[in-house]
Amino acid sequence: MPPPVEAAVPPRPDAAPPAAGAAGAPFLSWLRTPRPEAAPGVWTFGHRPRPPEEPDRIPGRQLISSAVISLLCGWLLWSLLWNGYLGHYWIWPLFALTPDSWREEGIFAVWVVYGYYVLVALVLAVVFGRLGRWPQVWRRWAAPALRRLWDDSGEQAPTAPAAPDEDPAEWPRLRASGAGAAADRLAAEARAGLMNDVDHARIGRAWEASRVRPDRLAAFTDAVVKHGAAACAHPSGARDLPVRAAVHDLATRQVRIGTATDDERNPYGHRGVGAALDPTLLGTSLLAVGPPGCGKSARLVRPVLESLCLQALAGRTAVVAVGAAGAGLAPDDAFDVVVRIGRPDSAYDLDLYGGTDDPDEAAAVLAEGLVGDIVAGLPGDDGRRAATALAQLLGPFRAAHGRFPAVPELRDLLDGSAAATGALRTALAARGQEALVRELDARERQAERHGDPGPLLSDRLALLDRPAFAGFFDTTRPGRTFSLRTLEHPLRVRIDLPERGHAEASRMLARLILAQFTECAAGRADRSLFACLVLDDATHTVTPESVRGLARLRSTNAGAVLTLRTLDDVPEALRSALLGSVGCRMAFSGVTTWDGARFAEVWGKEWVETRDVTDRQVIAHEPLTRVTHVIRRVITGRAVTAQSVTVRKVERERWSASELAHGVPAGHAVLSVTSVRGGSTPPVLVDLER
């Protein structure tokens, strides 16, 4: 396990690392950057809300073409006037409004004539500029480009707040509470480049905790005055991750995963803005579906996991990542505990019973992991018989030995081994546990009935009773065993599932970890930490109980991130329930039409305005008009038609199954999010490479 909180304070960094979200910017600039309120899922670091949508907004191509045509027409007219091809009638106002003496030769006369030319040119520019909508071209493209050029040039220095009580770098909240000495120390270290964003978030978290318990306020102030930015260190002593691959903003706990495209299918306010995830969204859980190679791991799981690890260093999150061995979710140095199941070099083991002392709870969780995917084939259709069978063995064994059985011991009991059962019966009798002896008797009677789940449980448990797992799931060495009961601490945990050749065992363990997480997250006494499970491949792990567990996580300050190659890996009866139990849904490019239909159903429909254009042939009755129509038909090859436009509002799917299957470009995904407070954002097409 990680070292205690009193671990040695790490050396201070020589300089603050570049702040997430502001490439290369110093820490103070990152801290002072505005973060306005925005819709859920919008990257708020330096966000600039878009102006209100123009209902009659002209398409860009049409606006550019009209501007170019008006420019050419204006230039042509001026050229004709200047060269005299249209006569000199346009000069007569000059002769009519000026005395003859002004037109005598001399400098004054030259200025008068050329001033008139300039006036005419300005009139032409105004007229043709309004015809070509040049003011709209300026507002839409030229002015924003000049603002971005000014911002990126580096000539505009960031302006610090005028008063210390308004500058976040001066820690005004600490000063207002009487901790002026601590605020002075932190402000000095921030100006000296000895603080980073993790330090700021970690100390802010410790300050919030000290305000809840005033008896800790003095200790907090003393620690900050003594250690500065290194105070209140994480149990591991780390103040940052070895490598950062994504863009983070720990002030808002966001991680940027891409940019919403400027697509008409996206809500107007989201077009062109950054897309981000944070615990307020992950608290409703996230389900991502996409084929292999679409970028689920590289563009979603790794950035989110990296963000959660940074927040764990700040004392705000506990994270458990589960994936196949060699998946490369994050380097080993980014975690406090790495469990390599089936690897002899693993320093930690996994507790099959989730760290509980209650036999009934342990039996329910273990039954979910072992046979949760096939409960529909068991009598009762809910796995209760399997949990009961396990409880009839786990309770007596714990009472006799003070621990739960290891895998070989439990397998012998499920097989009805006379030697194992007799030894357990003798141990219980010696301790005077007659009630638990009757539990064993009941187990023996039920084992003789048709449909008893014992043989099935034994067969599934045999997958873990293999030479590759020798030494694992050992209940006799509790100091080496990792339990999900530690979610009350800001730990970073990675569990590597067995390598190839143990696919069924890997799915069973993933199912067990998911069941343990939902149970332990709800059973925490202290829920101030956000707990998150990142399951890189949730194939065959979704069960009726896990769907109910995911729905309960929202109220326990916890969430889960699940990825699937296809919804076909989920039982058909659970697909709609799974999509309904999570608040954030993500469909990557390449999903099938069948998967797209499920997403289209859960995303619903919206009212849109449609235009129906009808062409009808124009019949001419006058001779001259008929001749004109004949000439136009000879030139264009088409009959003369007139268009009629019908505008109406219809209800249409936000994203249809066909659009999701064929209209999402590579490297993109459609994302919808919901916050724990109920705010939501409709599905948005996100470019994950920007």
pLDDT of 616 reads 77
Mean pLDDT over residues 547-563, rounded?
96
Confidence band of 257 (pLDDT split at 50, 70, 90): very high
Asked which of 3-12, 171-180, 233-242, 260-269 is least confident by mean pLDDT, the reply is: 3-12
Q: Shortest CA distance to 391 belongs to which of 423, 430, 350, 356?
A: 356
pLDDT tens, 203-212?
999 999 888 8
Q: Shortest CA distance to 243 belongs to which of 27, 18, 11?
A: 18
Confidence band of 521 (pLDDT split at 50, 70, 90): very high
Which position has the higher pLDDT, 627 or 163? 627
Structure-token match 């008929």, residue found: 626
Mean pLDDT over residues 68-78, rounded?
88
8 A C-beta contact, residue 352 and residue 566? no
Separation in Å, CA 482 to CA 1, 6, 558: 8, 21, 19
Q: Return the amino acid letter for 89.
A: Y
pLDDT tops 80 at residue 21: no
Q: What residue segments make up the domains of the chain, in order of their start? A: 27-53+161-247, 60-132, 362-367+374-463, 612-648
Instruction: For residues 48 and 170, give the distance between their C-alpha atoms in angstroms, rounded to a whole number.
Output: 25
Mean pLDDT over residues 296-322, rounded?
96
Cβ-based neighbour number of residue 267 at 10 Å: 15
Provide the mean pLDDT of the chain: 86
pLDDT tops 60 at residue 20: no
pLDDT tops 90 at residue 580: yes
As a dihedral over the C-alpha atoms of residue 628, residue 632, residue 638, residue 641, rounded to 10 degrees, the angle is -50
Q: Which string of b and e fits 348-378 if b means at least 16 CB within 10 Å?
A: bbbbbbbbbeebebbbbbbbbbbbbbebeeb
Which backbone phi and psi does 405 adopt, to 5 degrees? -70, 150
pLDDT of 654 reads 92
Percent of the chain with pLDDT over 90: 56
pLDDT tens, 113-130?
788 888 888 998 998 888
pLDDT tops 80 at residue 543: yes
Instruction: For residues 679 and 686, give the distance between their C-alpha atoms in angstroms, rounded to a whole number.
Output: 19
pLDDT tens, 593-621?
999 999 999 999 988 777 777 877 777 77
Q: Which string of b and e fits 631-653 if b means at least 16 CB within 10 Å?
A: eeeeeeeeeeeeeeeeeeeeeeb
pLDDT tops 90 at residue 249: yes
pLDDT tens, 42-55?
999 999 888 777 66
Which backbone phi and psi does 9 adopt, to 5 degrees? -75, 130
What does DSSP assign to residue 487? G
Q: Shortest CA distance to 352 belongs to which of 343, 342, 360, 362?
A: 362
In degrees, rounded to 5, the angle at the alpha carbon of residue 28 between the alpha carbons of residues 196 and 301 is 45
Mean pLDDT over residues 62-76, rounded?
86
pLDDT of 90 reads 79
pLDDT tops 60 at residue 152: no
Catalogue the E-assigned strands of 300-428: 317-324, 337-340, 349-350
Which position has the higher pLDDT, 533 or 103? 533
Q: Which string of b and e fits 433-445 if b means at least 16 CB within 10 Å?
A: beebbebbeebee
Cβ-proximal residues to 131 (8 Å cutoff; 6+ apart), any chain: 66, 70
